[in-house]
Amino acid sequence: MSKRFELVVDRIKCDGRGLCAEILPEMIRLDSWGYPIIAPGTIPEHLVGLAQRAVDDCPVLAIALRRAEVQRQKER
Partner 1 sequence: MSRLRLLAGPDLSIGAERLASHHGRLGPLPKGGHSLVDLLVRTELTGRGGAGFPVGLKWRAVAAASRGSAVVIVNGAEGEPHSKKDRLLMSSRPHLILDGALLAAASVHAREIVLYIGEGHHAALRSMTKAVGERNAGERRLIRIVAAPGRYVAGDSSATVHLVDAGIATPTTTPPPTRERGVGGAATLVQNVETLAHVALIARTGAATDTVLVTVAGAVRTPGVLEVNAGTPVGEAVQLAGGPSEPVRALLLGGYFGRWVEAAEAWSLPIDPQALRARGLSLGCGVLGVLPVSQCPVCEVAGIMRYLASESSAQCGPCFFGLRALADACTRIAERGTDAGDLQRLQRWSAEVQGRGACKHPDGVVMFLQSAMKTFGDEFTHHPAHLRKSA
Q: Which residues bind partner 1 (CB under 8 A)?
A: 10-16, 31-35, 37
How far apart CA 76 and CA 70 sit, in angstroms, is 11
Residue 31 or residue 56: which is nearer to partner 1 going by CB?
Answer: 31
Q: How far is the CB of 13 from partner 1 (least distance, A)?
A: 8
Q: How far is the CB of 46 from partner 1 (least distance, A)?
A: 27
Q: How far is the CB of 15 from partner 1 (least distance, A)?
A: 8
For residue 54, the SS3 value is: helix
Answer yes or no: are the C-beta atoms of 18 and 57 closer than 8 Å.
no
